Amino acid sequence: MTKGAQDWLDHPGREFKSASVAMAIQQLDRFVNGLELEDKIDLKLLDPREHAVWEIRTVLVPHHIRIFGWFPCPKHFVFVHAKPREALGAYGDPKWNRAISKVRSMQNELLPDLKPYAGFSFNDHV
């Protein structure tokens, strides 16, 4: 794991609650281990859909976290950054656009020649 990702897991910052980070890690574990995840409950394709930016969501534990990234190919999720849900404001707020733009920039930087994977259904991704 990169130092940066490890740093976030070890020291996520004060705006992230420990219990929420634990839940985020469990959600990532479930994805990596191929356990059941549901569309729009655990993962969601964000608008505009053509940008193919996804979020992995924490559930249950208060102070939810959104992990932003994309699928370059089936079953491969690129984890770009994480934000507390509360910090993003209402859906459509410019903060959402910034979170999405950050993923778009990373798509262009890392894999400029590879179009994000779109798939035909949710199950093509997980």
Place of tokens 């930016």: 53
Interstrand relation of 43-45 and 65-73 (parallel, antiparallel or unpaired): unpaired
**CA R_g for the chain:** 14
Least distance between another protein and beta carbon 47 (Å): 18
Q: Is residue 34 near another protein by the rule CB under 8 A?
A: yes
16 binds another protein (CB under 8 A): yes
State yes or no: residue 111 binds another protein (CB under 8 A). yes
Taking phi first (over 0 means left), then psi (-120 to 50 degrees means alpha), and beta for anything else, what does residue 67 get?
beta
Query: CB 20 → another protein: shortest distance, Å?
Result: 9
Q: Is 33 in the site for another protein (CB under 8 A)?
A: yes
One of 5, 86, 94, 95 touching another protein (CB under 8 A): 5
**Which residues make beta-bridge pairs with 69?**
54, 79
User: Beta-carbon neighbour count of residue 126 at 10 Å?
Assistant: 19
Interface residues with another protein (CB under 8 A) are 1-5, 7-8, 12-13, 15-16, 18-19, 21-23, 25-34, 36, 38, 41-42, 57, 59-62, 64, 72, 75-82, 106, 110-111, 126
